[in-house]
Amino acid sequence: MAGSYEDRDGWIWMDGKLVEWRSAQVHILTHALHYASSVFEGERCYNGKIFRGHDHSLRLLKSGELLDMPIPYTADEIDAAKDAMLKANGWTDAYVRAVAWRGSGEDMGVSARRNPVRLAIAGWEWGNYYGDAKMKGAKLDIAKWKRPSPETIPTAAKAAGLYMICTMSKHAAEAKGCSDALFMDYRGYVAEATGANIFFVKDGEVHTPLADAFLNGLTRQTVIGMLKDKQIKVHERHIMPEELEGFEQCWLTGTAAEVTPVGQIGDYTFEVGALTRDIAESYEKLVRA
Ligand code: PMP
């Protein structure tokens, strides 16, 4: 399926009902478009079941709360809406995008209490997020922007405003022939990529940045659990950029990225080693189990 995302056949769930794809529209005076009052989820459905779908619904509600825009649905209602959207489109394997935002209404300034919080759920078929990087390892640029302090913005929310620097950093990375960019945080610690968390391997043990200033991804949490089940030691800690030189393997985790090996970050190179491959395969099995 090619072409514009607004010009497709199919169904999108919007504010309580399924609407024809091309009719899923909002007004130009939508608060979210002007002030980033928007939170979202990215999920994957495998063999007819969304992996950790309910956890994604709960995180969406949490993100809404963190942005002072309570979403007027329960997690169970959101789960049902996702299933209805998938069924209407006849998909068993798809990426699912839920988005909640402040709509247009009586307010058009920064304050927006009188504007409704709206919810839509769309989906599409999406293969490997990093193309052939799954086999040979993705190449990452180092972003010039930093992940902000939790005192600056609610960093635990999956909020649209946090992605402004992601798009800018990813464009810059792609212009250099990289598939993504790695952020440091406001303190200079290694943080995450523009839409995925990061893991490193050294001497048979795993190191991953402490999720205290960025999204603690559900895939990250799943992979940490898998490593622990395999009796592999996981260190969640602050990682300095100088340490990149000493790591042997590296991978990214995310709903879209799944487990993607990393071959290079800036001038540092990593092997797509046995543990990376094992975790990628175990994750693929788990999500389809
Ligand atoms: N960090 C960012 C910035 C992301 O956009 C994502 C994708 N949602 C992740 C991490 C990974 O989160 P998850 O594993 O829950 O998809």
One digit per residue, pLDDT tens: the chain, 289 residues?
568 999 999 999 999 999 999 999 999 999 999 999 999 999 999 999 999 999 999 999 999 999 999 999 999 999 999 999 999 999 999 999 999 999 999 999 999 999 999 999 999 998 877 877 777 899 999 999 999 999 999 999 999 999 999 999 999 999 999 999 999 999 999 999 999 999 999 999 999 999 999 999 999 999 999 999 999 999 999 999 999 999 999 999 999 999 999 999 999 999 999 999 999 999 999 999 9
Beta strands in the chain (DSSP E): 11-14, 17-20, 38-46, 49-50, 94-102, 117-124, 138-147, 180-185, 190-193, 197-202, 205-209, 234-237, 249-254, 258-265, 268-269
Predicted TM-score (pTM) of this structure: 0.97
In order of start, what are the domains of the chain with their CATH numbers? Answer: 11-124 (3.30.470.10), 133-287 (3.20.10.10)
What's the rounded Cα separation, in Å, for the pair 249 and 183? 18
Q: Considering only CA atoms, which residue is closest to atom 4 of ligand 1? A: 195
CA of 62 to the centre of ligand 1 (A): 15
Q: Which atom of ligand 1 is nearest to the CA of 162?
A: 3
Q: Positive or negative, the Cα torsion across 107, 39, 128, 147?
A: positive
Residue 280: closest CA among 170, 128, 60: 128
Q: Is 158 a catalytic residue?
A: yes
Task: At 129, list the tokens.
Answer: 């997020």
Q: Which of 134, 139, 158, 170 is catalytic?
A: 158
Q: Considering only CA atoms, which residue is closest to atom 5 of ligand 1? A: 195
Q: Which atom of ligand 1 is nearest to the CA of 254?
A: 14
As for ligand 1, residues whose beta carbon falls within 6 Å of it are 42, 158, 192, 195-197, 214-215, 217-220, 253-255
